[in-house]
Amino acid sequence: MRIPTRLEPLVEDGLIDEVILQLMSGKEATVFVVRCGEEMRCAKVYKEVDKRSFRQSADYREGRKVRNSRQARAMEKGSRYGRKAREESWQSTEVDALYRLAAAGVCVPKPFNFLEGVLLMELVTGDDGNPAPRLNDVEFTAEQARAHHHTLMMQVVRMLCAGVVHGDLSAYNVLVGSAGPVVIDLPQAVDAAGNSHAGSMLERDVANVTTYLGRFAPELLTTAYGKEIWALYEQGDLHPEVELSGRFERTEKAVDLGSVVREIDDARAQDAMRRLRMQKTH
């Protein structure tokens, strides 16, 4: 096929030898199957900010690091430079997350290069050798659904152990590869420790996957893996080999009203003494 303009720099640099076909076009990027030497790979071309429908919510941007204070100020003001800097940060988040998660043993496409807003990465294939379908496009037996759900819960655990929450995980962002589910699309990934919304995002990620696979194995719909995983993380008990139960019971200690009243009385007494001292000094 004709080489898309955005892929020309990679062809000129010898990173891509041939563009085979357009695989998909989504809200944030267009993905092509390309040939690199003897290997088939994916080229993810990020759409320009004014040409895509996905908006960078402040919830996702919280806790993200920027290169310097000038860049941070520009991003807050929304200047042309700031918008460009924010876009670059958005794209590099996925690249950084892929390298980080691949090193942590998470099933994600292996990244190779990132140039001119194009991410070159592994092409995930199915049992037939063709590009793997999305989880959302496949029907499963109850046994298969349970197996894929278990695998994905452990991937969520591994991601969190690496300090990452996907933030937009669903049946649309998982490929069914020949070796099992592969997590994709990570530009909105958030830092678990640096984002106050990380816990709710993780629970939503888990709920999205569970809702889809629960169509084939309804018993999954009664589980609470999201709350269980986040609770273990907060307690410092989460590790890649943890055994999950899918159950979660919130333990709430009874409030000691006597202690609360005493603290209030002490605070009032201290305030009264402070006011008396101020009156004496005047």
Task: Give residue-wise pLDDT tens across range 178-211.
Answer: 999 999 999 899 999 999 999 999 999 999 999 9
Q: Is 185 assigned a catalytic role?
A: yes
Neighbours of 245 (CB within 10 A): 9
What does the block give as tokens for 136? 């959302």
Maximum Cα–Cα distance across the chain: 88
Instruction: Write the pLDDT tens digit of every residue in 229-242.
Output: 999 999 999 999 99
% of the chain exceeding 90 in pLDDT: 67
Q: How many residues in the chain? A: 282
Cα distances (angstroms) measured from residue 112 to each of 16, 42, 115: 11, 10, 10
Specify the residue for token string 């909105």: 188
Query: Pairing state of beta strands 174-177 and 18-25?
Result: unpaired
pLDDT at residue 72, rounded to an integer? 46
What are the tens digits of pLDDT across the range 110-128?
999 999 889 999 999 999 9
Distance, first Cα to last Cα, the chain? 87
C-alpha count within 13 angstroms, C-beta hemisphere, residue 222: 3
**If residue 103 lies in a helix (H) or strand (E), which one and from where to where?**
helix 80-103
- Of the residues 137, 168, 237, 271, only one is catalytic, namely 168
Instruction: Please pick, among 13, 137, 185, 191, the residue that the annotation labels catalytic.
Output: 185
Please give the Cα distance from 234 to 231 (Å, whole number): 5
Using one digit for the tens of pLDDT, what is the confidence trace for 130-188?
Answer: 999 999 999 999 999 999 999 999 999 999 999 999 999 999 999 999 999 999 999 89
265 is catalytic: no
SS3 label, residue 21: strand
Q: What pLDDT, on the 0 to 100 scale, is given for residue 48?
A: 75
90: pLDDT strictly greater than 70: no
Q: Which two tokens stand for residue 109?
A: 């496409």
